[in-house]
Structure 1
Amino acid sequence: MQGSSKRESFHVIHKVPSGDSPYVRAKHVQLVQKDPEAAIVLFWKAINAGDRVDSALKDMAVVMKQQDRAEEAIEAIKSFRFRCSKQAQESLDNVLIDLYKKCGRIEEQIELLKQKLRMIYQGEAFNGRPTKTARSHGKKFQVSIKQETFRILGNLGWAYMQQENYVAAEMVYRRAQMIDPDANKACNLGLCLIKQTRYDEARSVLEDVLLAKLPGSYDCKSRSHAEELVQELDSQQPGQLLSSTPLGLSLEEAFVEGLDRLMNEWTPFRARRLPIFEEISPFRDQLAC
């Protein structure tokens, strides 16, 4: 009994599953022996043996990313996700998004983020449930559809900024702010407006951060970012004309038109759409004007 208790205590402390399967050995090597390259080899063996494939593929991809083998991780997920359960697909998509970001594959990152938004609009995210259980640093917590939507829109806005498509990024950040106002995303929205030389609008957005009107306004990083952007505004030449055709306008129009088409396609699913999208639907009409 005492030996059994010690083994159970070991697994709890090191967060290693019990047993002697290929997946368990891979986790032991990863977490206890701390040998990532050997762990990757064992995760491959677990996948080929059909042992906890959902977890093995995700864990292997994460370790590969840590070892600067992100491109390999992308190919591994694409090649073997068909062996994983339906319940694991969303989680694998989240890993893919991080891998695309690390590799600078922005187009693919954007397409996958849009796909996740489609699933939310159609009521298919979280396997149809309003919340899901997530993990961070070994702790479990609940994530709502509203929180997930806000997170995805933030990532999508950032991806558009990497493409220097500031008009599309502005549209996405404005939608995110309608769901859950946030100082960090307000700073990004302000930057998008500055890049379009819409200085008065940018100043108004940034002042909301500096005047602590938004959640997160007291965060040192967000406040410093807002102050830096206001200084950039103050340094602009007085009397500079606003651009009548901001960079990326045609791309924004295409994005809005595509979103409108998707919304029309989603109409049959209206009964399945979640309340948060009824709240932000009016913003689509503003964009179409």
Structure 2
Amino acid sequence: MEGAGWKKRGGGGGGGGEKKDLFHVIHKVPPGDSPYVRAKHLQLVEKDPDAAILWFWKAINGRDRVDSALKDMAVVMKQQNRAEEAVEAIRSFRHLCSKQAQESLDNLLIDLYKKCGRVEEQIELLKQKLHMIYLGEAFNGKTTKTARSHGKKFQINIKQETARILGNLGWAYMQQSNYDAAEVVYRKAQMIEPDANKACNLGLCLVRQGRYHDAHHVIEDVIHRRFSGSDDWKTIKKAEELMHEIDLRPATSTLEIDFGQEEEIMGRIDLLMSDWSPFRSRRLPIFEEISTFRDQIAC
């Protein structure tokens, strides 16, 4: 199925090098004749995900670009609503991947856990990633890394990554209806790198606790464009819907939060990310006890 068309357009002789080079650029298919290349051709050109998965398996078993083959196969499986299979594939074969690939595999696992509704495992992995940041082991000890979203590359720093992970952790706690934990996490995320989307989620968290007055203040800041990302129409629409719900409720405010579980969950999370230095060899001194944060929001 993949043979004739793949060889005619992407492989073998004839046709001129420039045309073949252009083909690879347009379709984002690597050159060559290997299981991984065939898998990418089936995925991106032939649009045959089932056959692509088969060839990704062959690439992994043949030790052909295992890092990319495992990640790409998991992505295709997720698109085919085979997320549970993708989880098991990553957990079974990640030991064949390089150290540099492990962080991106963790990120993919988090997405897969979310799709599968495996919230507990998602939370544990997010906490593990926070612990790596605390130890200075994220980004292979660097302050920034190159990330990719919707086909575009961009730089992300350790401060942004911490806030992103906290945002995901907050949403996971929301799925468990653990609103106390979610609030603590969202507030920490907003202290580190505030944005409109996390503010909306914090507002929703407060609404779920019946604290409409507090939620009103948070959502009002989004509507008045006081956060990064407030120009996103989906975020604004979400904020407006929340504000409408809040306006229909009585104005109440409660600040009694049970921090017992949150202290165990959060431990020592960075409150002053700007002080981080990649040249420190010991644990990052910027992490403070959660009790400090508790005192701040209790005032």
Same fold (TM over 0.5): yes
Match of 1:271 in 2: 280
Q: Which runs of 5+ in 1 are unaligned?
A: 264-268
2:35 to 13, 17, 22: 22
Q: Which residue of 1 aligns with 2:44?
A: 31
Secondary structure of 1:164's aligned partner:
coil
Q: Which has the higher contact order (CA 8 A, sep 6+)?
A: 1
> How far did 1:256 drift?
1.4
Q: Is 1:260 aligned to residue 273 of structure 2? A: no
User: What residue is the counterpart of 2:11 in the other structure?
Assistant: none
Single out whichever of 194-203 and 9-18 deviates more from structure 2.
194-203
**Distance change in 2, residues 1:195/1:272 (3 Å):** farther
3-state SS in 1 of match to 2:280? helix
- TM-score, structure 2 as length reference: 0.84
Taking structure 1 as reference, are residues 136 and 199 closer, same or farther at Cα in structure 2, changes over 3 Å only?
Answer: closer
Contact 1:121–1:273, Cα closer than 8 Å, also in 2: no
Matching residue of 2:8? none
What is the one-letter code of the residue matched to 2:117?
A: G
> 2:212·2:250 contact (CA, 8 Å) conserved in 1?
no
How many residues get paired? Answer: 276
Provide the secondary structure at the position in 2 that maps to 1:140. Answer: strand
Cα distance, 1:257 vs structure 2? 3.0
Name the SS for the 2:16 alignment partner.
helix
Return the letter of the residue paired with 1:257. Answer: E
Shift in Å at residue 258 of structure 1? 4.3
Q: 1:109 to 1:139 in 2, by over 3 A?
A: same
TM-superposed CA distance for 1:274, in Å, is: 9.1
CA distance in 2, matches of 1:283, 1:218: 32
Once the 2 structures are TM-superposed, how far is the Cα of residue 9 of structure 1 from its aligned partner?
Answer: 1.4
The correspondence for 1:125, drawn from 130, 138, 149, is: 138
Residue in structure 1 matched with residue 5 of structure 2 by the alignment: none
Q: Equivalent residues in 2 for 1:177-192 (5 A)?
A: 177-192=190-205
Residue type at the aligned position of 1:271: R
Query: Which has more helix, going by share of residues?
Result: 1
Cα deviation 1:240-260 (Å, max 9, x = unaligned): 6x66866xx4xx522313433
Q: Which residue of 1 aligns with 2:26?
A: 13
- 3-state SS of 1:271 partner: coil
Asked if 1:61 corresponds to 2:74, the answer is yes
Distance 2:169 2:265 in 1: 15
Cα deviation for residue 190 of structure 1 reads 1.2
Q: Which amino acid aligns with 2:213?
A: D
1:205 aligns with 2:214: no
Normalising by structure 1, we get a TM-score of 0.86
Q: Which residue of 2 aligns with 1:104?
A: 117
| 1:232–1:138 Cα change, 3 Å | closer
Aligned counterparts of 1:182 and 1:117: Cα–Cα separation in 2: 19
Q: Is the 8 A contact 2:268 2:289 kept in 1?
A: no
Decide whether the 8 Å contact of 2:167 with 2:189 is kept in 1: yes
Shift of 1:272: 4.4
Task: Percent identity, please.
Answer: 65
The question of whether the paired residues in 2 share the 8 Å contact of 1:122 and 1:272 is answered with: no
